Chain A
C-alpha cells in the first residue's frame, strides 16, 4: 500500500471569543492509516476536526490534501476534497429514512431517483459489511444503526478521509468490535481514518499513530506500536496519574432498597421489565451490566418514580426514621426528598437533568429553588455550590454564568453528577456517568462514587465498560431483555462470565420470539 500523506495540517489556530481552542496544531495522516486523536475534555479535539470538515474556519494555519494546499470554507468544500466526518452527535434528520439522509444535499447528475440510491447504499453495505435497512426511518433506529447510517453517508459521497468523533462512546462492546472490523476493512481499501477517542485500549488496538492534544496545544504524535497506556496518559494529562480505582471493602451493609418482582410495560404495551428482584445495600456499589436498551433505564426510572410500575414492590428502608416505605406509591418529588437520587446521563446529555440554555448556577437552582423561605430566589447557595463543583471536579468553563450547552460533553456530565451528589443522597443511581468522558474525568467520577459508598450511600451504577464495572463495583447485576440473568460478585467474576450472562438473555428472548 502506498503510504503517501493524505492530509496534513500545519500551524492550525482557532479561538472562540478570545478563548483559545486550538493553538499551533500539526498533523499528518497517510493513506491506508488510522490516526487516533487523544485528549481530555475541552482539549480541542472536536474543534480541530470540525475545521477539517468545514464546520469551523481556522484563524491561522494551512491544510494540505495530497500535498496541495487547500481552503475548506464549508462542508461542501470538505466533500470536494473527499473528507467525511461522523459527528459525535449524529447529524441525521429523524423523520427521513436512512437513504434519504444519505443522499441529502447531494447534487448527483440525472434525475432524482430514490430506488437507485437504495441500490447503491446496499452495495456499500455489502462491500464493508454493514447491516442496514435502507428504508428504515431514523427515529426507529438504535444508536448503532444511526452511526452506521452516518458512516455510509460519507462513504456514499466517496470520502477517502473519514473522521469519527468518539464513535464508540455510545456502543456496546460487541458493536464496537463490529465497527472496528469495518474500519480495518476500510484501511485495507486505502482509506485514511481519523478517530477521536479517549478509551486507551481502543487507541492501542486500532490505530497506527496517536496524536495527543492538551488544552488546545498539540503535544505530539507517536506510533502506537512504540507506546503504552502510561505514556499516552502522561502526554494527555501532562502529569502521571494512577489508573487504579481504590475499591474499599463494603462496611456496615444494611438493606437499603429491596426490589421485589418488578414488572413494567412501556407505552406500546411491550414488557420492558420482567419480574426483577434485587437488594441494594448501603455502603456498596451495585453495578448493572447489560446490552444497551435491556431495561436499565426503565429500572432506574421505576425506582425514581418516573416509570409506571405494573406489579411488584420497591421497599426503601429509611435510615433516618427506620421505617419502611414503598416507593411505588410515592411521587417522584417525595422519592427525591427521601434521598433517592437519580443522575441519569442519557444518550443526549442535555435531554434529562440539565437545561442547556441556563447557566451553571441556574441549573443548580433547579434542585434547590423550593428551599428558599422568602418569595425571592435564594442565589447565594447555588452560586457557592456551582463554584465548588467547578473547582472540585475541574470543570472547564469561562465562569459559572456560562450556559451549560456551550460546555463540552464531559464538563456537562461533571456538573450533573456533581449536583446530584451535593444533595447528600442515601441512594445514588448513576446511569452511564462516564459516557463520552476522557480518562481523567472518568476517574474523578469513579472516585466520587467511591466516596459516596464510603459515606454509606447505596450506589447503583449502570455502566457500559465491563472492565470498569469489574474494578469499581462490589456486586454486578446482569440484566438482559428486562430480566435479571444473574448477580455476580465483582471481585471474583470475569468479563467472559458477564458477557455470557448478557447474551444468555438475548438467546432466551430470541427463543420466545420464535415460539
Chain B
C-alpha cells in the first residue's frame, strides 16, 4: 500500500508538470498536441546532459550540478520545441493540430533514438534526483509519503501553485487568459497577442519537458525502457479533467497517477482486466467532460479561442 502511494505520487507529479505546462499553453489559445513529443525531447535533453556531465566529472560530481544541469537542458529543450510550435502556428499560421502532432512524432522519434543508443544508463544520474530529505527515514510512513521524494516532485507542486497564482491573481495572468479567450479583444486592448502566445507556449513546453525528465529519473529510476508518449497524452486529458486549473491539477494528477498504476498493485486479476485499469484515467476524463458540459458553467469551459489562429487584419 505504501509503495503504491509513493509510486502514485511520483507518477502523478510527472503528469502535473505536463498538465501545468499544457494549461499555460492552452490559456493562450494554443492547443499543443505536441506535448508527448515535448516531454520526450525534454527527457532526452535532460538525460543526455546528465550523461555528459557525469562522464566529464567522473567521481567529483556534486549534487547541485548533477541536478541543475539536466534541469536546465530539459527546460531549454522544451522551450525550443515550444518555439518551433509557436513559429509554425503564430508566424507561419500553420494549423495547430497538425503542427502539434508533427512535434509528437518528432519527439517520440528522438527519444526512441536515445533509448536505442544509450538505453538504461541513467540509473547513476537518477540517484541524484531521488535524493530525498535527510529526515524522511525517521518519520515512518508519513516521511515515506511526504518527504521521501526527490527535488523534481516538490518542484512540480511549486510550479503548479505559482502558475495558478500568476494566472488568476496577476495582470500578466489576466492578459494571458484574455488572449486565449478572445484574441481580438486582447489585441484591441493593446496586448501583444503574438508575444503572449510565444512566451506562454515556450514556458509551458519547458515545464512540460520537466515532466519527461521526472518520469525517467524519479519514476523509472533511470531505467529508460520504453517511450513516454502515453504519459504525454494523459497529461492532455488531465488538463481537461482539471478544467484548466493548475491548482486542481495537483490533486487530479495524484488521482491519475494512482489509476494508471493501480493495475500493477491489484492481484488476482487477468492481464486483460489489468489493461482495463489503465483506461480509467481516460474514462474519468470523459465523465468530467460530460459533467462540466451539463453544468454549463462558462468558467469551466475551455478557453474560447483554443486552437484558433489569430491574425489581426483578417475579418
Contacts and interface: CB of A to CB of B under 8 A. Distances in A.
B4 to A, nearest CB: 38
Interface string A86-102: 01000111111000110
A372 interface: no
Contact of B185 (A93, A107, A139): A93
A406 B314 CA distance: 8
A96 B187 CA distance: 16
A96 B171 CA distance: 13
A91 B188 contact: yes
A76 interface: yes
B171 A55 contact: no
A104 B191 contact: yes
B26 interface: no
B185 A92 contact: yes
A56 B187 CA distance: 12
B75 interface: no
Interface residues of A, number: 29
Interface in A232-260: none
A48 to B, nearest CB: 15
A107 B172 CA distance: 10
Nearest to B313: A56
A112 B178 contact: no
Contact of B189 (A56, A91, A137): A91
Interface string B27-67: 00000000000000000000000000000000000000000
Nearest to A89: B184
Nearest to B300: A95
B313 A75 contact: no
Given A103-B174, A104-B174, A104-B175, A91 B182 contact: yes
B188 to A, nearest CB: 5
Given A53-B188, A105-B190, A93 B298 contact: no
B298 A55 contact: no
B182 A75 contact: no
Nearest to B315: A406
Nearest to A112: B171
Nearest to A100: B174
B69 interface: no
B178 A104 contact: yes
Interface string B169-209: 11100110110011011111111000000000000000000
A56 B311 CA distance: 11
Interface in A95-147: 95-96, 100-101, 103-107, 112, 137, 139
A105 B181 contact: no
Interface in B293-315: 298-299, 301, 304, 312-313, 315
Interface in A31-56: 53, 55-56
A93 B183 CA distance: 9
A93 B315 contact: no
Q: Which of B184, B188, B191, B304 has the most CB of A within 10 A?
A: B188
B190 A79 contact: yes
B180 to A, nearest CB: 9
Interface in A348-367: none
Contacts of B186: 93, 104-105
Nearest to B299: A95
A75 B171 contact: no
A105 B299 contact: no
Nearest to A267: B296
Contacts of B299: 95
Interface in B143-183: 169-171, 174-175, 177-178, 181-182
A74 B187 CA distance: 9
A107 B192 CA distance: 13
A94 B182 contact: yes
A410 to B, nearest CB: 14
Contact of A137 (B169, B177, B298): B298
B79 to A, nearest CB: 25
A410 B235 CA distance: 45
A93 B303 CA distance: 10
A137 B301 CA distance: 15
Contacts of A55: 187-188, 312-313
Interface string A59-83: 0000000000000001110010000
A157 B26 CA distance: 29
Contacts of B171: 103, 106-107, 112
B170 A112 contact: yes
A139 B298 contact: yes
A166 to B, nearest CB: 16
Contact of A96 (B169, B178, B190, B312): B178
B130 to A, nearest CB: 39
A383 interface: no
Given A56-B313, A93-B181, A405-B315, A87 B188 contact: yes
A96 to B, nearest CB: 7
Given A95-B298, A100-B174, A139-B298, A105 B189 contact: yes
B309 to A, nearest CB: 13
A12 interface: no
Given A75-B187, A87-B188, A91-B188, A105 B315 contact: no
Interface in B116-158: none
Nearest to B182: A93
Contacts of A104: 174-175, 178, 185-186, 189, 191
A85 B182 contact: no
A94 B304 CA distance: 9
Contacts of A93: 177-178, 181-182, 185-186
Nearest to A107: B171
B312 A105 contact: no
Interface string A373-411: 000000000000000000000000000000001100000
A139 B301 CA distance: 13
Nearest to A108: B171
B173 to A, nearest CB: 9
A153 B185 CA distance: 12
Nearest to A91: B185
A225 to B, nearest CB: 34
Contacts of A106: 171, 189-190
A392 B171 CA distance: 51
22 contacts: A55-B187, A75-B189, A75-B190, A87-B188, A91-B182, A91-B188, A92-B182, A93-B177, A93-B178, A93-B181, A93-B186, A94-B181, A94-B298, A96-B177, A101-B185, A104-B178, A105-B178, A105-B189, A106-B190, A112-B169, A405-B315, A406-B315
Given A93-B181, A93-B185, A103-B171, 17 more contacts: A55-B187, A56-B313, A75-B188, A91-B185, A93-B177, A93-B186, A94-B298, A94-B304, A95-B298, A96-B181, A100-B174, A101-B185, A103-B174, A104-B174, A104-B175, A104-B189, A139-B298
Interface of A: 16, 53, 55-56, 74-76, 79, 85, 87, 91-96, 100-101, 103-107, 112, 137, 139, 153, 405-406
Interface of B: 169-171, 174-175, 177-178, 181-182, 184-191, 298-299, 301, 304, 312-313, 315
Q: Lowest 3 A-B CB distances belong to which pairs?
A: A105-B189, A76-B190, A91-B185
